[in-house]
Structure 1
């Protein structure tokens, strides 16, 4: 409305300086200009928001705006011509002529003016929304970087806390003489985990293959501690190996399965990791372990809460984290992420 008010003031000023200015007609022109043109652009605004044009990238938006400018230009001609003609008729301003004659004489000028004005308004409107979207994106990216660093720190804390490190080193020590090959493998695994945690912490997305490489190294190292109490199985649709997912997403689910499932059972159990594709171009990651969970208690753990927040920041409402109790005493934690 502010823009149209300024434009109407400018038109009134040009009329005032052009001679034969009628104050009553000028005021009516100002009020009707602001009201009518604001209504037109307000209707377009509602249409654009309803069809999410403000969320489009530049190229698809321009393809829609080109015909939109023409339509709004035609609307501008019809409204403006009718308004000016009625004012001339009511106040006997200007030469007496029919509406068709008025259109023939002024239609082209009005159409050019309408195209110019509507183009300026549309450009300003969508540039404003584009700037707001970029600002939100910058803020969300900043938050995501912070959350990713937090996830890396949590991952290091969970994997390399003094208790785990002490147990791992003791396991390696006990194997040095009796099973030197196994001890060397344990050292390699611990080294890989340290290297991954310290030098790949800035990555937000990694391939499924890389994430599973980290997870299997972690599970193999943990198996040295749990021994026969821990078994694991991985099912992967090989077509999904290169799909990008959140770094440490599977790792977080596996850590949760070991902490709340395997470690609480004397007989241990099986950790099953399944990664497949859903029909609507989503990848589904499921980690299952023996146990049960009280679904009435909200998830408050740092790892899962962190993962849920990072999913929301990266993929919006399209992604999600869900934990359920399955038959036969199985807890299932699943992450659903859009592909592409």
Structure 2
């Protein structure tokens, strides 16, 4: 929290430094141009400098507040550009009005003998000031939005890198769970015991084990998959565990039909189920009944895995990895929780649409 606050302060400080330096440099350039053209007055130049910095920072800062309020920073490039062209015209118009008013008032009150009619002054200077306004506001908006667009791209690259690492970690954790010597030896011994008496079941066990290992090792690196594909992998895992645990492991799936083609983070459901089997049902001598349910809601969908057990029995690090991936993928809009009520442990996952 302290680091985030420090970063925000540094970002705001950089913004104000750029505003101050940028408009001061622009005003000094205008003063230098006036000095070369003759008739330079240092006092008037100082007044113009101070008023330029205050007024133009005010105009552009009001625009910044408008951008932040309407979340233009989150827009893609094409819709952003559609908004920038009208915004340039509005800012240039504001610049023109403010600049003409400022110059006229300064000359009227501070320049001896100034008597030009206000309408004549406006007619003589509006076009030049307006063109300068379009040019200056275009440069300012290009710098402002270009900077934030570059920051967003760098943040996306960083987040994608974090997601790739998290997915790799999830794959390793899932593979580790499947290749755990206890699990692997039990699975192979179960298959071995069925080779002679139940050859069909033995072949099925080999198929299940190879499919789980193939998916863990060679599946592509997409962050998401369909619920249908994730459920198929999970059912392979449960069927293989059921060959070993027999009647101690019972399971059922209750899922809305509309869910199956929706996206879900890869290895998320199997992580929840593996945690339920390892830390719940496998620790119970009588085993237990595991229920996978999915409900389509108005703004998303919920997946739950319920089983008998105790919440304090332990949670695998796969769940921690899952939470980290959800935070990155869905910007804290997805919710994962695990709770116990009357001897039933329920892991719940909500994914926004």
Q: Which residue of 2 aligns with 1:232?
A: 251
**Contact map agreement 2:249 2:281 (CA 8 A) in 1:** yes
> Is 2:353 the partner of 1:335?
no
CA distance in 1, matches of 2:113, 2:169: 73
> Is 2:309 the partner of 1:291?
yes
1:187-206 mapped onto 2 (5 Å cutoff): 187-200=206-219, 202-206=221-225
Structure 1 unaligned spans of 5+ = none
**Contact map agreement 2:174 2:216 (CA 8 A) in 1:** yes
Q: Which residue of 2 aligns with 1:25?
A: 44
**Contact map agreement 2:275 2:315 (CA 8 A) in 1:** no
- Provide the aligned length of Structure 1 versus Structure 2: 334
Partner SS state of residue 217, structure 1: helix
Q: Which residue of 1 aligns with 2:14?
A: none
**Deviations 1:161-203 (CA, angstroms, capped at 9, x unpaired):** 1111100010001111111100100000011011111101623
> Is 2:165 the partner of 1:146?
yes
CA distance in 2, matches of 1:4, 1:301: 56
CA distance in 1, matches of 2:183, 2:104: 86
**Deviations 1:202-260 (CA, angstroms, capped at 9, x unpaired):** 23211111111110000000001110011111122222222221110001100111012
Shift of 1:321: 0.7
What is the RMSD of the two structures over their aligned residues, measured on CA atoms?
Answer: 1.7
Match of 1:279 among 285, 298, 309: 298
Q: Which residue of 1 aligns with 2:16?
A: none
1:255-274 mapped onto 2 (5 Å cutoff): 255-274=274-293
Match of 2:338 among 309, 313, 323: 323
Seen in structure 2, the aligned counterparts of structure 1 residues 11 and 195 have a Cα distance that, compared at 3 Å, is same
Instruction: State the TM-score, normalizing by the size of structure 1.
Output: 0.94
> Is 2:30 the partner of 1:16?
no
CA distance in 2, matches of 1:100, 1:287: 76
CA distance in 1, matches of 2:112, 2:231: 80
CA distance in 2, matches of 1:228, 1:205: 33
Structure 1 runs of 4+ off > 6 angstroms? none
Shift of 1:300: 6.5
Q: Which residue of 1 aligns with 2:106?
A: 87
Match of 1:309 among 310, 324, 331: 324
